[in-house]
Structure 1
Amino acid sequence: MRSALVVGGLVAVATVAVVGISAVTTVVREDQEADQARRMTISCNASLGPITSGPAGSGAADAAKLSEEQRGTVAMIISIGKKRELPPRAWQVAIQAGMTESGLRSLDHGDRDSLGIFQMRPSMGWGTPAQVTDPDYAINKFYDVLEAVPNWEQRRPGESAQDVERSAFPDRYHKWEPMAAHLIGNVGLVADPTGCGQGTGVLLAAPTKSAGEAIKFALAQQGKPYQWGALTTHQNSFDCSSLMLQAYRSAGVTLPRVSRQQFQAGAMLPVEQAQPGDLLFWAYDPSNPATIHHVAMYLGDGKIVEAQQTGVPVHIRPVRWGEAELVAQAVRPGV
């Protein structure tokens, strides 16, 4: 860390042993009912879902490589975040920062006098060497500074991590988005990271009854896991096209199984004119429908609901008309 931030107030030094794998389940499962009640009081931002990037499945794959020490650090980040009644978005920021700075380990060395999980520098006012190498102190200090960052909840997690760390390499925190999203969903046992439940913010009315029924079905699946090749005969898990197929099947409209076929299963219109219930598509070559690899449902107000990738539950996220690989045509099923 190359930060010049100075945060007043020091706490007593405490030695905290990093919990092992055997303790992780206990740590994250305790007081689940209380956690649910707390999330109901967290301010909701429906435009923010689990923000991820990287190849499909990379989040779960990276998480599977973590050592016992690293998993213990994740458990502490989540446990302390819960005790402080911080939303899961804060846990994601801390996990990405810790993985980038130290590999989620409490290091006794670093660049210049940088130490600990977040490579805090005692010379820059972060605390004594003993304090910044104490995981409990370091995690709480990180959260202290994060909470002081204006509008941190509204930003991409890696950007918020940079606001705390002040690194000379600001983009490197984004690398761990998929893994952090996987961990808050699977280790933190949180299906609804934004605290919004099935809410979607201010959305346009669906243009047809079938679109409205399809949207209702898709939103009811939020929090369920992604599974490539998921069966279309149950609702325990979904991939992108099975979610669309079942959503429209609930409305009496039959869609083909895979996204490339679904692109041909309705009326086409410019993507910028999409209305709630229309399907949006992503392709390796947006000009070639044969390369389509993903489909999602537009909700209006610049949002989609999707089953995105392994390690990321069904969720709502913002969409930009100019984002990479987005096909220029939307499809309106049943028309």
Structure 2
Amino acid sequence: MDQRDAARAVSLATKVAGRGLMLKFGVAGAGIFFVLLLVFGLVAGGMSGSAAAAAQSCGDLGTPSAPLPGGGGSTPSGPLHDQELANAKVIDQAAQQGGLSGRATLIGLMTALQESSLIDLPNGDRDSIGLFQQRPSAGWGTVDQILHHPDFQAHSFFYGVGPQHDPHGLTQIVAWQTMSLGGAAQAVQGSAYPLLYAGQEAPARQIAQQAGINLDRPGTGDGNGHVPDSSGSPTPTNSTGGNCYSSTPPGQTGGPFHDGSSPWPDVVKNPRSTEQAIQWERDQAATGEATWHLRCLATVASAYGWGGAGYTNPPANSHSYATELYRNLIPASMHHDGDRNPPPGALMFWDTGSLAGHVAMYIGNGQVASSDILRPGYIDIVPATEIETKWGAKYIGWAPPYFPAAG
């Protein structure tokens, strides 16, 4: 490790700690971390002149190494930068293998820069690892499959994991070619900080130029059906259990949603009116806290004034799942299968490929108030079509806000 890389390692280590390592490893881990910083600090402390300036000009997490003043030219160098260039080439090769354009490579580079500074990190927030900070617990593969295998990581990012593409990759995102660059990255990653990817475009282009990558390359295919080679390893699976949604790859979406007009049956009686429930959802979206992660059914019940939907937890009663409420507890006479004209206040249901499914309240003008769709744990107001385009869910239909077991 040269002086330049020592300084960059301090910056990278500090940023990684900010992404969750301190919380992950606790006090003991924090102590080890600060010992490492001290070691790096002593090395950097022995620098003088231009080397001292290096510590102030290192690339931050999510950016390539910055040129050093008086350091012999404007092109970054050193072992860490060599890793960045090598990993950038791997990402580009994975895109080309599926016939994807240079735009896809750019999206991949932007994502990896934001997530890991294009370094194959062995850790991160919770169990996140690698260039794209992919989580084994979320179905992105085993630690052995992901770590030290940037080609597998890049293929997973572009094409999803396994024959079912679950979790989905970039090529399963509907219209990714015409989305904003940062929006396409977020559609794959589902980050709590979706706006940060866009800021990596300029650094990604810089890295691409240094690595000899042609970002203007036209595509020869859409990559659909391209499955990463797992080198004989079992295909990773993603079990969502009782979650309110899954990372099932997007399918074809239907048309837009429009306001319908249908009075609730007399049996539908809730503590709050439809107008009050919609206002509750809007208030939660504006000022609410992150208390609704994987609790989609609880959100709509709470909006209508109930303490909960009133169902026991599985396996005693699987009706605590959103789709089971629609299929088994709400009378068939109240089902509006596939109808894309729900009245404001209606409960809308989606099949996510898991038993749980997803439910959200339609609030009018083609929008729903949904938990987890933009920020884990929060309620946000989005176009109803985003449940399909972001999660790949299949729309089932809508029903009146009927909670027969609530009390």
Instruction: Report the TM-score, using the length of structure 1 for normalisation.
Output: 0.38
RCO higher in 1 or 2 (8 Å CA, sep ≥ 6)? 1
